[in-house]
Amino acid sequence: MSSETPSYIYWVGGGLGAITLASVSAIIMWFAEKKLPTIKTIGRDFILGAILFFLLLQLLPESTMTLVTSILALTEATVPEANSIIDSVSSVVDDIELRVGVPNF
């Protein structure tokens, strides 16, 4: 996690991933199996969606942050203070450089 990137951006991305996977799974279950999804399956898919987002964030950090900031940019019309958030996050994403080698712990 970059020190300039607000931590809530990561949690928003995790929430979006969780909601997306849970929604897609519930829709597929509704149309394919013709039965209502249970709370247990929705909860399981919600947790898996968040986990998959954070795994994807580890593999493709720039692309994932660009995707999250793009989704947040869609809220720009409805939330006036989103402009400053998007500008600060997009400048951080542009400043990220690729580092090769053993990480410094």
Taking the domains of the chain in order of start, what are their residue ranges? 8-93
Which pLDDT value is given to residue 68?
87
When the pLDDT of each residue in the chain is averaged and rounded to a whole number, the result is 80
Which pLDDT value is given to residue 82?
52
Which pLDDT value is given to residue 79?
57
DSSP string, 55-88: HHHHH-HHHHHHHHHHHHHHGGGT-TTHHHHHHH
Within 13 Å, how many C-alpha atoms sit on residue 94's CB side? 6
Three-class DSSP category at 21 = helix
With 0.75 as the threshold, say if the pTM is over it.
no
pLDDT tens-digit series, residues 39-77:
999 999 999 999 999 999 999 888 888 888 888 888 765
Contact 19, 46 (CB under 8 A): yes
